[in-house]
Amino acid sequence: VTGCEREELPGGKDAREIRLFAEIGVHLSSEQTKGVITNTTDQELNVGIVRLDEKTGESKTDGYPYFINCSSPLNATFGTPNANEGNLREVTSFSEAQFFKNSKDAVRYAAWYPWPNDWTSENRQGYKYETGGNGTKITFPIPATGDSDIMYSNAVSGTMSEGFDVMKFNHALSLFRIYVYSSSDPSKMDWGNVTALKITGLPDKCEITLPKDQSNKEHQISYSKSTDAGMTLLHDNISIDIPTGFENKCFVKEWIAAPGMLTTGEISIPALDITVSTTVTTADGKESNSEHNLSIARNYEPGHLYHIVLRFTDEGTINADVTIEDWIDTGHKIMSDVLT
């Protein structure tokens, strides 16, 4: 490109250089900020990103964009929220500089988070990027700590003259909150205190398949597990007094995860397998410990908030009531680590 052909933006930026903005809402990240991230968190975020319109080989045509699966992802950094841009985050760096082909043809991107900023074939940290006939698939580890979200952006197209739509990131996992209460004072005496909560059978991998072409705009999300390790919701030396009455229910813990699966015959449905440990202290100071297993099957979906309320009954059973809400980033305060 000669000097006469070069177009510049204010500040000396090349007009052909691609600028992307993202809206990344409230979530948890143990990997990057070790806590809650909001729309105004002053922290850069490392993401993976891929250009979906790349042309390769002898089969490329004059049509544009020509969608294929890219062979490798780009590392990118979304900067701190820009108050002048509605707290959107702009890509401040790509591992390879990105430019439009010309002033009229569109290009297309998809992104995901988190992603190691030093991701290479030798340093994958449990992350995978694979291409094939079934599409481009990214595999993420799901931490057993329940304190890290996985997010993916919608695929956005843009031109040099019109720019891009904002990348809006969606949750690939679900947010769960668990509460306890007893039906009556006598049942409260019979049950004692909750001393442990554990979930088993949770997936430890999340797989996201990117849209393959312009007519396929939806991401595909699936989960798998390689171990039977569980997630402990209460740590040692925590004992929760079970309050009486729904209106007095006690919030116990919040976590981010994908549900396991309950299989009956040929039918599999999402489920949470929860083990509740209780301790009753008698008048003479002796303790009686017991465990109770629940399988709570619902049509759990990513991007939703599930309130799981455990009711300790007079009949000696634990019943679970589940309510669902959309996980609206601006409407729900993360309440993590209330009890640790």
Most confident of 189-193, 256-260, 320-324: 320-324
Cα three-residue angle 21-205-47, rounded to 5 degrees: 20
Q: What is the pLDDT of residue 118?
A: 65
pLDDT single digits (tens) 224-237 = 887 766 788 776 67
Q: Do 74 and 20 contact (CB within 8 A), yes or no?
A: no
Give the model's confidence band at 247: pLDDT under 50 very low, under 70 low, under 90 confident, else very high: very high
Mean pLDDT computed over every residue of the chain? 77
Residue 11 pLDDT > 50, yes or no?
Answer: no
Smallest Cα–Cα separation from 319: which of 298, 294, 300, 297?
A: 294
**What DSSP character marks residue 10?**
T
Q: Write down the residue that tokens 């009890």 correspond to.
A: 339
| DSSP-H helix ranges across the chain | 185-191
Give the whole-angstrom CA distance, residue 119 versus residue 16: 27
Strand order in the sheet with 220-224: 128-130, 137-141, 205-209, 220-224
The share of the chain scoring above pLDDT 90, in percent, equals 13
pLDDT at 37 over 80: no
Q: Helix, strand or coil for residue 55? A: coil
Across the range 203-222, mean pLDDT stands at 79
Q: How far is CA 64 from CA 19, 51, 123, 183, 216, in A?
A: 19, 13, 34, 64, 16
Condensed to tens digits (0 to 9), the pLDDT of residues 85-136 reads 888 888 888 888 888 877 777 788 889 988 876 666 555 677 888 876 667 8
Range from 37-41, 161-165, 250-254 carrying the lowest mean pLDDT: 37-41
The neighbour count for residue 291, using CB atoms within 10 Å, is: 10
What HEC string does 192-259 produce?
CEEEEEEEECCCCEEEEECCCCCCCCCCEEEEECCCCCCEECCCCCCCEECCECHHHCEEEEEEEECC
pLDDT 10s digits, 271-326: 889 999 998 888 787 888 899 999 998 888 888 899 999 999 988 899 999 999 88
- What does the alpha-carbon distance between residue 174 and residue 4 come to, in Å, rounded to a whole number? 53
Query: What pLDDT, on a 0 to 100 scale, did the predictor assign at position 8?
Result: 37
- Phi then psi dihedrals of residue 248, to 5 deg: -105, 10
The pLDDT value given to residue 229:
65
Q: What percentage of the chain has pLDDT greater than the value 70?
A: 74
Residue 335: per-residue pLDDT: 52
User: What six digits make up the tokens of 5?
Assistant: 């052909």
